[in-house]
Structures are given as C-alpha cells and as structure tokens.
Amino acid sequence: MDRKTQHRQRGFTLVELMISLLLGLLVIGAAGSMFFSNRKVYGSTEAISRIQENQRSAYEMLARDIREAGGNPCTRNIVNMLDTTKPGGAYYAGWQNGISGTNNTGPNGSDTIELGNATGGAISVTSNDTPSAEVGVSTNAGINTGDIMMVCNAEVASIFQVTNTANNKLGHNAGTGTPGNLEKPFQINQDVFDENTAAQTGYCYLPPATGANPNCLNSPSNSPAVVVKPVSIQWYLANNGRGGTSLYRRETSNGGATVGAAAEIAEGVTDLQVTYKVDDATNYVDAAAGLDWARVTAVHVNMVFRAAQGTLTKSDTEGTDSSVITRTLNDYIVLRNHQEIQ
C-alpha cells in the first residue's frame, strides 16, 4: 500500500476526538439549558394561568351572589308568616337582611359570608282570590311538605311554610310543622300582621274571577304572582383533603333544615377577608363590628390564591425566589337590593 492510500485512511487523533467531544458537550449543554429554561417558563405560566382562571370564576360567582343578596322576583315589601316563637321561625329576619358574615372563623383566620335570596326558578300562582289556607300553583313539582317558600307579586311578598301539596295547591295552615305558620291568611305588611294575629281577612294575590271578595284587604292586582324558594348561600374556606384549602359555596334552605352539598369553587385559596360598608360610610368594617346587616350597601372582598401543584411539578409552582406563586384578588361589590341604593 502506497503512502497516499495510508494517508487517506488515517483516523482522528486523540486531540481531535477530545475537541469534538467538548464541542458536543457545549452544544448539548446549551440546548439543555434552553430546554429547562423554557420548561420553567411554561410551568410558571401554566401555574399563573390556573390562578387567574380560579380568580375569574370565583369572583364572578361570588360577586353575583353578593349583588343579588336579599333579592326576589317581586318586591321589598316582605311579610313573615312563620311562627317566630318556634325553632326556625327567626329564619325570616336573617334572610330579609340578605347578608351576614363572621370574622376570622375559618382556616388561616379567614372570614365567611352568608347571602340570602329568592331568585331561583319561579312557579306561577294560578289561584288565590280569597284569604284561605291554600294557594293554587301551576305545578308543585320539587316542593315538599315542610318547605319554606315565598309567594309574591309586585306589591307584597309572604314567606310561609308548606303544610300540604295536594292537587297543585300549596297549603299553609297554621298550628302544624316547625316553625309552622301564624294563625291568619297572607297580610299586606308586617306591622299590620304583628298587631292583628287573629284576623281572618288577608291579602289576595290574584283578583277574584267574578266580583270582589270582601275578605280581601286589597283591591284586585293585575301583576303576575309567583312562588319561589328562599335560600341561604354560604361562602367559606375549608381544607380540601389535598393538603391545602379551597373556596367553597353551599346552599341551605328551609331555615337551615336542608343543607346542600358543598361545591369546591376554586383550589388553592389561602385567605378570604370580607369587610362591609354601612349606608354611606367612608370606611369598610369587618363583621366583628356588630353591623346592622340590613343597612350594608357594599362589600370589599380580598382573596389570596396560591399556585396548587396538582399535575404540575413543585418547581412549576415556585417563582424566581423559590417561593410559591401567589396572587391577590381585591375588589368592591355593590348590593343591588338594599333599599338605600335602589
């Protein structure tokens, strides 16, 4: 074999191989550094996006409930037919206020807020042209004996307890059930009701089919009448069973006798602080101030959201300072249904 052929078949020298390996390691290192950097950015962005989505959904639902506190489809003139001397009878007072809360009673010293409204599905009233122990409805589906309901039109709203549901009629007899109804038909206003508990005349939600009923305290009303269920909505923090706390929403009805399942609204909420504005006061105060809840006109909500690990890695939920990423939601919500702002 001649020298020219031997030269063409010569391999890498050790120095050349070492230089090649070094250059390869530098390229791999740069690519790896870029990959892990992008992975960190992606993870942090995903964590922040989840926080923001939780903030949006939590705020929209909570704000809607606060705005509707004390609301119903009809009127602010509400008369309580429940017997306030029995357990559950005082439900009316708290519900009419529409809002209440507690201070530093939840995890991490968080607050709770409770809101009442009757803005759910409405059932049409078909007959109530005489003061009696029954009101006719288009359907009694979903209504049970013992339920606390509201019947209302544009003039008057009455809270009562159902004593029977036969033949598409809702009975509201007195003397049965807990708390039960007081011994009289529907009334026009609370003061007259409280002063005259033995009256047999009452408010008629629909005009008589023919003529006028002398036992009706009111002239025939042409406004539609409906039946709805007042509910109480609780917002609070609780342990979620995954090592953290979440924001929960739960509905109760029938004076607290019927408690719905708690719905987890947002994961990773570590604090909920609520303060209230009374009338046209400048400052917001917390629930411990002994508020007149019927005079609350606005609410200040402050929530802290913490990145929850879930399917993300621990490093994805941490910022550049190695602390868990957090965001604060801070907003003011005006109540629509309190008289001072109507």
Q: Give 237-280 pLDDT, tens digit per residue.
A: 999 998 889 999 999 988 788 899 999 999 889 999 999 999 98
Q: Select from 178, 194, 228 the last residue of a domain.
A: 228
Q: Tell me if 135 is assigned to some domain.
A: yes
Interval 152-162 mean pLDDT: 91
Interval 136-159 mean pLDDT: 91
pLDDT at position 196 over 70: no
Enter the tokens of residue 18.
């070492």
Q: Tell me if 258 is assigned to some domain.
A: yes
Q: Tell me if 153 is assigned to some domain.
A: yes
pLDDT at position 297 over 50: yes
91 contacts 255 by C-beta, under 8 angstroms: yes
Residues 177 and 270 in one domain: no
pLDDT of residue 207: 76
The span from the CA of 45 to the CA of 48, in Å, is 5
Residues 188 and 243 in one domain: no
pLDDT of residue 135: 92
For the chain, give the mean pLDDT: 83
Residues 112 and 235 in one domain: yes
Q: Tell me if 296 is assigned to some domain.
A: yes
Residues 6+ apart with CB under 8 A from 144: 162, 165
Residues 184 and 333 in one domain: no
Q: Tell me if 202 is assigned to some domain.
A: yes
Residues 6+ apart with CB under 8 A from 340: 279, 280, 295, 297
Interval 145-164 mean pLDDT: 92
pLDDT at position 191 over 90: no
Residues 218 and 306 in one domain: no
Q: Tell me if 197 is assigned to some domain.
A: yes
Residues 149 and 175 in one domain: yes
pLDDT of residue 285: 95
Residues 159 and 214 in one domain: yes
pLDDT of residue 309: 55
Residues 252 and 294 in one domain: yes
Domain that holds residue 164: 121-228
Residues 136 and 208 in one domain: yes
pTM: 0.81
pLDDT of residue 11: 65
Q: CA angle, corner 232, sides to 169 and 55, nearest 5? A: 135
Reported as a pLDDT band with limits 50, 70 and 90, residue 91 is confident
pLDDT of residue 306: 85
Residues 147 and 107 in one domain: no
Report the percentage of the chain scoring pLDDT > 90: 35
Residues 224 and 278 in one domain: no
Q: Select from 228, 245, 271 the last residue of a domain.
A: 228
pLDDT of residue 296: 93
Q: Tell me if 78 is assigned to some domain.
A: no
Reported as a pLDDT band with limits 50, 70 and 90, residue 341 is very low
Q: How far is CA 243 from CA 57, 267, 309, in A?
A: 22, 11, 10
pLDDT at position 342 over 60: no
Residues 332 and 246 in one domain: yes
Q: Select from 228, 262, 294 the last residue of a domain.
A: 228
Total number of domains constituting the chain: 2
Q: Tell me if 2 is assigned to some domain.
A: no
